[in-house]
């Protein structure tokens, strides 16, 4: 017999799985609380109990995927030795992420669009991106001396390149993406007057 904790964990996971599927199919606004609960074979009350709201469910879903991708990215970055290798790690983990069954980045784009219309989602996304920008900027500063905070530019370029690749896979090759990302770092360094690596 399952314990209460095990049942709660199964309910939570069922709601996350249902939300992932429905958000991908219908978008955040098109996936109702009732539809998510029904898909998970749970009640809407269970969704509110576990996540507080549909937005809370969305944020929990993305946080889990982002944490998984961050762990893989961090491990791969620890073995990379050149700037190109590091940019390749970042690109690979956005273009073909290990988490979210290919839905993570699509949901990331959906969240961005939703955040432009929803104040709470906008605040959440701004906090999340600031933390990611800081992590990326700190990492780049460890790899290359004399580079200003480039986190916003790198993350913006990563997401934009991935979006273009989704629209036309042949338009953005891995080589082009890595060169563009490396160019942000070396260009920022050059603009500060430091020699390029």
The reply to whether 13 falls in a domain is: yes
Whether residue 47 is found in the same domain as residue 74: no
Whether residue 85 is found in the same domain as residue 168: yes
- Say if CB 15 and CB 50 are below 8 A apart: yes
- Using alpha carbons, select from 69, 94, 64, 68 the residue that is nearest to residue 159: 94
Per the structure, how many domains does the chain have? 2
Question: pLDDT tens, 81-132?
Answer: 999 999 999 999 999 887 767 677 778 888 888 899 989 899 999 998 999 9
pTM score of the predicted model: 0.81
Q: Which domain does 5 fall in, by range?
A: 1-52
Whether residue 125 is found in the same domain as residue 67: yes
> Is the predicted pLDDT of residue 194 greater than 50, yes or no?
no
Whether residue 18 is found in the same domain as residue 43: yes
d(CA 79, CA 109) in angstroms, rounded, equals 29
d(CA 120, CA 128) in angstroms, rounded, equals 12
Q: How many residues does the chain have?
A: 197
- Using alpha carbons, select from 91, 80, 70 the residue that is nearest to residue 179: 91
Question: pLDDT tens, 30-44?
Answer: 999 999 999 999 999
The reply to whether 66 falls in a domain is: yes
pLDDT at residue 196 in the model: 45
d(CA 166, CA 160) in angstroms, rounded, equals 10
The reply to whether 197 falls in a domain is: no
The secondary structure of residue 172, as a DSSP letter, is S
Whether residue 62 is found in the same domain as residue 40: no
The reply to whether 196 falls in a domain is: no
- Using alpha carbons, select from 113, 116, 109 the residue that is nearest to residue 162: 109
- Using alpha carbons, select from 152, 144, 134 the residue that is nearest to residue 186: 144
Which element (helix H / strand E) includes 192? none
- Say if CB 154 and CB 140 are below 8 A apart: yes
Question: pLDDT tens, 135-162?
Answer: 999 999 988 888 888 999 999 999 999 9
């Amino acid at each position: 017999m399952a314990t209460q904790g095990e049942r709660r964990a199964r309910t939570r996971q069922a709601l996350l799985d249902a939300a992932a599927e429905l958000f991908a199919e219908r978008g955040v606004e098109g996936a109702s609380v009732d539809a998510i609960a029904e898909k998970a074979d749970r009640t809407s009350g269970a969704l509110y109990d576990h996540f507080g709201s549909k937005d809370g469910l969305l944020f929990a879903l993305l946080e889990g995927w982002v944490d998984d991708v961050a762990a893989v990215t961090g491990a791969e970055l620890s073995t990379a030795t050149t700037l190109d290798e590091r940019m390749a790690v970042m690109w690979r983990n956005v273009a073909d992420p290990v988490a979210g069954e290919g839905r993570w980045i699509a949901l990331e784009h959906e969240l961005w669009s939703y955040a432009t219309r929803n104040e709470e989602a906008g605040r959440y996304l701004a906090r999340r991106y600031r933390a990611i920008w800081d992590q990326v900027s700190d990492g780049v500063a460890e790899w290359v001396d004399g580079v200003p905070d480039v986190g916003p530019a790198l993350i913006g370029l990563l997401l934009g390149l991935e979006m273009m690749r989704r629209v036309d896979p042949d338009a953005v090759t891995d080589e082009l993406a890595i060169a563009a990302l490396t160019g942000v770092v070396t260009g920022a360094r050059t603009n500060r007057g430091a020699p390029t690596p």
